[in-house]
């Protein structure tokens, strides 16, 4: 499997500085980052490490869930996955990721609600990004759409 690369160029102090995150492997974009906007309610056109983790987690989870649904005999028609990643103070000092809320809604043929819930829980455990984030509390809200 390939290694993927992102690069950040940062200028200045934490409070006054800013940077650009480049998705180097795919070359799909370069995105602005700054700590004041990271800590603000409104991102104001910048991204953050937490948003990038949320993007990675939602994409990885969707892929893993589609595989597990197929293994269980179902056929995913559509999966809508969101990941909310929270940043907060670390009792040891500084900041840490304080939680991740995964929400998935799916249209699936061949699985009932209980089968979908089991697949969703199994995907949460098997997803490589979930495995990388074992130090963060990850909660899941999964439901079939009718």
pTM for the whole thing? 0.94
Q: What does the pLDDT look like over 97-113, one tens digit per residue?
A: 999 999 999 999 999 99
Q: How many CB atoms lie within 10 A of CB 50?
A: 18
Q: What does the pLDDT look like over 26-57, one tens digit per residue?
A: 999 999 999 999 988 899 999 999 999 999 99
Cα separations in angstroms, 107 against 6, 22, 58, 140: 33, 34, 17, 17
**Which CATH code fits 49-144?**
3.30.300.20
């Amino acid at each position: 499997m390939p290694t993927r690369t992102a690069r950040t160029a940062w200028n200045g102090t934490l409070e006054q500085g800013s940077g650009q995150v480049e998705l180097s492997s795919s070359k799909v974009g370069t995105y602005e980052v700054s700590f004041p906007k990271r800590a603000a309610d409104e991102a104001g056109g910048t991204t953050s490490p937490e948003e990038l983790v949320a993007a990675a987690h939602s994409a990885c989870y969707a892929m893993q869930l589609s595989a597990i649904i197929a293994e269980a005999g179902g056929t995913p028609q559509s999966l809508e996955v969101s990941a909310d990643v929270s940043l907060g103070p670390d009792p040891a000092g500084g900041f840490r990721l304080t939680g991740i809320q995964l929400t998935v809604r799916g249209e699936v043929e061949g699985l009932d609600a209980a089968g979908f819930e089991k697949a969703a829980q199994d995907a949460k455990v098997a997803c490589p990004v979930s495995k990388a984030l074992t130090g963060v509390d990850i909660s899941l809200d999964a439901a079939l759409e009718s």
